Structure 1
Amino acid sequence: MFRRRRREQPEQVVEQEPAAPTRESGPWDADEPHPETDRIDLGGLRLPHNPDFDVRLASVGDQHVGVVVIYEESSLQLQALAAPRSSGLWDEVKTKIRAQAKDLAEREGPFGSELSGEVKSDGNPRPARYIGIDGPRWFLLAVISGQGANDETVSEAFIDFVKDVVVVRGDEPMAREEPIPLRRPNEQTGETTDEGPGFSPFKRGPEISEIR
């Protein structure tokens, strides 16, 4: 007598929810749990979308090396650099900045030690605030200049922006202090993917311009 084998039920795939962030705010490393919000994908940096901010890529030759965010006649410059696995770069970078701008004072800010004061731009003094964040194998330098360096409201808007930046270091070997590569949102690396109808990297649809 043969018994009919019971049909095997396919295993149910349990979808795992993304792990909750272990910190209250960033900047985030791409490999750590972080809030999945609307961001502009520039390759090495993913920036929070804010329709009030004008985002521009800073380029040297054909290479995009940083980002300039303009808001309320003030600017926020962002540059992500490769850093050693064993130690951060901020202490070293601070020393280099103070050697060039001796009037800057060190103080504590939302990300730890930072530099603030006035620097000369086109021969004229301009308020500036230098913020450095050491991450895992990367370093993010944020420079607030203009009115926003002293204005609490504008400064807070820039700080909130920095807190939601995602840094994509990647696994490829990079030299110390080498800029992490950036690209325009419509520049694809590797395979191209069909995002489907209605896809836009921006809610408001602005173009990212370039500063050289």
Structure 2
Amino acid sequence: MSTVFRRRRREQPDQAAEQQASAAPTRESGPWDADEPHPETDRIDLGGLLLPHNPDFDLRLASVGDQNVGVVALYEESSLQLQALAASKSMGLWDEVRAKIRTGAKDLVEQEGPYGPELIGEIAGEGNTTRKARYIGIDGPRWFVLAMISGRAALDENVANVFLDFIKDVVVVRGTEPMAREEPITLRRPNEQGAETVDSQGLNPFKRGPEISEIR
């Protein structure tokens, strides 16, 4: 059997090289699509999103009603909210969503970021307060990820970079079922699958956190 194995390796070097190339990521960073080549690391499985481990984060599921539609990461007096939405094959959502956000929050300006156009400025907080916020949109294959960084990280690049590194290793599991445009890709609690992975990494148990407002 070893002779056959050696012969096949000699006869098919190009095929082996092609297989290795096809398994390599085609982009430098994510968010990745579950069906495209991406770095294989141990991630927290929330169903629609696979999240990298960061023991410094306090992670919480965000909900609208009884539906889990996003995740919140708390770190260094800052928060990162992530929400994944269904999109069409032919058209991204960020241009449209960005216009909606600017309509609802007047004190935002556009800037160029690692993923292209971003929004940054002040948004309404609790009561009559305001808070700094930075909106980042990433269009993917049939999905869209909206990230909102608020608090200290909205202005402190050192803290923001920790969140950006987190975003770059997220995997989106869109699935094959039909979904309406802008429909949230729902998440599940990790204790439904793989809760022991979360505990073994020293992360706080997921609990219901602040709601992510609907952007429709």
**Alignment TM class, shorter chain as reference:** 0.7 to 0.9
1:1-212 equivalent positions in 2, closer than 5 A: 19-122=23-126, 123-188=128-193, 200-202=197-199, 203-211=201-209
Q: Percent identity?
A: 68
Contact 2:44 2:197 in 1 (8 A): no
Per-residue displacement from partner, 1:103-150 (whole Å, max 9, x unpaired)?
Answer: 100010001110001111012121100000000000000000001100
Offset, 1:55: 0.7
Looking at structure 2, the residues matched to 56 and 62 of structure 1 have their Cα atoms a distance apart, in angstroms, of 15
Offset, 1:60: 1.9
The one-letter amino acid of 1:159's match is: L
Looking at structure 2, the residues matched to 144 and 205 of structure 1 have their Cα atoms a distance apart, in angstroms, of 20
The one-letter amino acid of 1:78's match is: L
Offset, 1:90: 0.3
Contact 1:41 1:201 in 2 (8 A): no
Which is helix-richer, 1 or 2? 2
> How many correspondences in the alignment?
196
TM-score, normalization by structure 2: 0.84
Which of the pair has more CA radius of gyration?
A: 1
Looking at structure 2, the residues matched to 125 and 36 of structure 1 have their Cα atoms a distance apart, in angstroms, of 40
Looking at structure 2, the residues matched to 121 and 205 of structure 1 have their Cα atoms a distance apart, in angstroms, of 28
Q: Counterpart of 2:144 in 1: which secondary structure? A: strand
Contact 2:57 2:203 in 1 (8 A): no
When residues 205 and 147 of structure 1 are mapped into structure 2, their CA distance, relative to the original with a 3 A threshold, is closer
Looking at structure 2, the residues matched to 57 and 154 of structure 1 have their Cα atoms a distance apart, in angstroms, of 21
Offset, 1:206: 2.9
Structure 2 stretches of 5 or more lacking a match? 10-15, 212-216
**Counterpart position of 1:5:** none
**Counterpart position of 1:192:** none
Looking at structure 1, the residues matched to 49 and 207 of structure 2 have their Cα atoms a distance apart, in angstroms, of 16
Looking at structure 1, the residues matched to 150 and 159 of structure 2 have their Cα atoms a distance apart, in angstroms, of 11
Q: Counterpart of 2:197 in 1: which secondary structure? A: coil
